[in-house]
């Protein structure tokens, strides 16, 4: 056998198996194979990885250890609730199945098999897509650190998104819902939810200081979320586009003005029991309103109004649908909803657009019909001149 140059490693037979080695001393990597061909293939791969800057640490660390270390880094760059979601996915879905695999030995078929098994065991496609998102993001971090030479998650097929049928209320049902609400606060909260399309957390995070009474503009600057081990907290909107300004109608402003006066009277009666946070929709003592209590009251309103059992988030879908049905420009709808791109709005609410397309089709027909009549008129005139 010809002697290889330093750094090219070696392949030799030991007993019934072939041994491949690359490096020396503490940097040596060794692996056993059934055939000489497989051993040489592995040797060439490791040599190429090292040439591309793959650090030796990546040859030893397990996926579970790497993901735990990655979570520490991710915690500094994502929202607390997002971090909790990442952590749950890692410890509940990824590490128990793939955690034993050495990071650099992770293959696309390992990842694909994970998705297949999760779906077969009843894990939803959306959760499985979240598993994919976490693996992909973590492996991109490993790629930047030189621990792997490629992101194997790029080579797998992601589970398809299963879009649930969107449920919304029509304008008559919305009025029914608001009318059955027993408190002034709940009636106004439902009203504002539908006229603005705000998320529940955004509604509960609104403060009077966010409202400009003269211009009728309200700024969405925060939301209320329940954080594990902490309770209700104020945090940033869901995305950068979530921080937005929404114009309110005159009727909404009048309702808010009357409600604010009543709220001020109640706070005075409570005295020291009132905790002033400047919230538009606070709890009975001025603290942030618990989303679970809002949901419970909302469900009760649906029941008493004889309406379908919709999620609170479906009021946001209702708002978008009603706006589009009223002919509001999709770009404006997108801005009010806080979508990052108008394409998201159009893709989400495409079911509302067919009637608008029919109207456009009729208008174009009418336009071209006028052209045809004009052409016919010109023909008659030219014929008359020639006679």
What was the pLDDT predicted at 2? 42
Range of the domain at 296: 171-351
What per-residue confidence (pLDDT) applies to 203? 96
Q: For residue 337, what are the contacts with CB-CB under 8 A and spacing of at least 6? A: 197, 316, 319, 320, 345
129 or 2: which leads in pLDDT: 129
Q: Mean pLDDT highest for which of 45-49, 163-167, 175-179?
A: 175-179
pLDDT in tens, 99-130: 999 998 899 999 999 999 999 998 988 899 99
Is residue 343 located within the same domain as residue 225? yes
- Supply 165's token pair: 């049928």
Mean pLDDT, the chain, whole residue set: 86
**14-33 residue pLDDT tens:** 989 999 988 777 667 788 89
Last residue of a domain, one of 123, 155, 187: 155
Q: Above 70 in pLDDT, residue 54?
A: no
Q: Give yes or no for residue 364 having a pLDDT over 90.
A: no
Q: Specify whether 230 is located in the same domain as 127.
A: no
34 CB contacts (<8 Å, ≥6 apart)? 17, 18
Say which CATH number the domain at 120 has. 1.10.150.130
42 and 105 co-located in one domain: no
Angle at 106 between CA 102 and CA 109, to 5 degrees: 145
Please indicate, yes or no, whether residues 189 and 314 belong to a single structural domain of this protein.
Answer: yes
Please indicate, yes or no, if residue 150 is contained in any of the structural domains.
yes
Bridge partners, residue 188, by sequence: none
- Residue-wise DSSP of 72-124: HHHTTTS-HHHHHHHHHHIIIIIHHHHTTSBGGG--HHHHHHHHHHHHHTT--
Give the pLDDT confidence of 270-284 residue by residue, as tens digits. 999 999 999 999 999
**pTM, 2 dp:** 0.68
| 243 in the same domain as 121 | no
* pLDDT score, position 161: 74
pLDDT of residue 3: 43
């Amino acid at each position: 056998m010809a002697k290889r140059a330093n750094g090219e490693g070696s392949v030799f037979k030991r007993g019934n198996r072939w041994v491949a080695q690359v490096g020396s001393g503490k940097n040596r990597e060794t692996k056993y194979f059934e055939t000489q061909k497989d051993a040489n293939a592995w040797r060439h791969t490791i040599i190429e990885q090292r040439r591309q800057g793959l650090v030796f640490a990546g040859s030893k660390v397990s996926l579970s250890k790497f993901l735990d270390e990655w979570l520490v880094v991710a915690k500094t760059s994502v929202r607390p609730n997002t971090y909790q979601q990442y952590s749950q996915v890692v410890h509940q879905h990824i590490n128990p199945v793939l955690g034993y695999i050495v990071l650099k030995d992770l293959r696309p078929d390992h990842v694909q098999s994970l998705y297949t098994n999760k779906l077969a065991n009843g894990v939803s496609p959306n959760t499985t897509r979240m598993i994919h998102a976490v693996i992909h993001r973590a492996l991109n971090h490993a790629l930047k650190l030189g621990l792997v030479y490629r992101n194997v998650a790029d080579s797998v097929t992601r589970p398809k998104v299963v879009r649930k049928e969107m449920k919304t209320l029509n304008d008559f049902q919305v009025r029914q819902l608001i009318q059955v609400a027993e408190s002034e606060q709940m009636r106004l909260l439902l009203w504002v939810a539908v006229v603005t399309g705000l998320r529940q957390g955004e509604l509960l995070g609104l403060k009077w200081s966010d409202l400009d009474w003269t211009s009728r503009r309200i700024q969405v600057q925060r939301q209320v979320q329940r954080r594990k081990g902490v309770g209700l907290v104020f945090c940033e909107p869901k995305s950068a586009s979530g921080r937005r300004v929404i114009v309110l109608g005159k009727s909404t402003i009048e309702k808010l003005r009357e409600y604010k006066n009543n709220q001020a009277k109640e706070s005075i009666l409570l005295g020291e029991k009132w905790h002033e946070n400047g919230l538009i929709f606070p709890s009975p003592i001025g603290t942030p309103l618990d989303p679970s209590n809002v949901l419970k009251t909302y469900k009760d309103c649906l029941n008493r109004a004889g309406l379908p059992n919709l999620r609170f988030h479906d009021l946001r879908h209702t708002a978008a649908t009603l706006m589009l049905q009223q002919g509001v420009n999709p770009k404006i709808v997108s801005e009010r909803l806080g979508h990052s791109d108008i394409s998201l709005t159009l893709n989400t609410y495409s079911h509302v657009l067919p009637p608008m397309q029919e109207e456009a089709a009729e208008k174009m027909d009418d336009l071209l019909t006028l052209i045809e009549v004009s052409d016919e008129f010109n023909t008659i005139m030219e014929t008359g001149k020639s006679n």
